[in-house]
């Protein structure tokens, strides 16, 4: 039972973090808090994928070499999986882009309605 918890608790932590972000996106009334929830959601997803790269008794995927000759035989068991790192680099780029555009839209909403509360904006007819 204890082994089971130890071998799965990282996934559960990321699911809890992701659900915090999801709840923030749905339930919060302020647009800025919704954007923060979206960012927490993306970060939880990135952490989950990074955790799937881990291998026990392995090190970072940088092979040791000396100038003039290569590293010789490389055993894949000694290095953690590089592919999740690469793909999450792409996900970070997409996350930063969506965050930037979302913040720009939030600024525009504030300029037009002078508030960021969702119910006040829905109640007013705009200017």
Closest CA to 42 of 1, 86, 95, 90: 95
Q: Is 124 in the site for another protein (CB under 8 A)?
A: no
Residue 68 contacts another protein per CB under 8 A = no
With contact defined as beta carbons under 8 Å apart, do 24 and 40 qualify? yes
Instruction: Report the residue from 1, 2, 26, 68 that binds another protein according to the rule CB under 8 A.
Output: 26
Is 67 a residue that touches another protein (CB under 8 A)?
Answer: no
Structure tokens at 127: 């200017």
| C-alpha–C-alpha distance, residues 127 and 71, integer Å | 68
Report how far residue 2's alpha carbon sits from residue 116's, in angstroms, rounded to the nearest whole number.
Answer: 46
Which residue, 1 or 62, has its beta carbon nearer to another protein? 62
Give contact residues for another protein (rule: CB under 8 A).
6-12, 15-16, 18-19, 22-23, 26-27, 51-58, 61-65, 70-71, 74-77, 79, 81-86, 89-90, 93-94, 96-98, 100-101, 104-105, 107-108, 112, 127
């Amino acid at each position: 039972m204890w082994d089971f918890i130890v071998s799965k608790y990282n996934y559960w932590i990321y699911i809890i973090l992701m659900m915090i972000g999801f709840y923030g996106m749905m339930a919060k009334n302020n647009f800025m808090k919704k954007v923060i929830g979206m960012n927490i959601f993306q970060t939880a997803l990135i952490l989950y994928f990074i955790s799937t790269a881990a291998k026990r008794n392995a090190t970072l995927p940088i092979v040791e070499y000396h100038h003039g000759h290569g590293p010789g035989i490389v055993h894949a068991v000694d290095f953690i999986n590089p592919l999740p790192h690469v793909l999450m680099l792409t996900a970070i780029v997409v996350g930063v882009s969506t965050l930037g555009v979302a913040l720009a839209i939030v600024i525009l909403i504030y300029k037009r309605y002078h508030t960021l509360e969702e119910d006040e904006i829905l109640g007013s007819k705009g200017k």
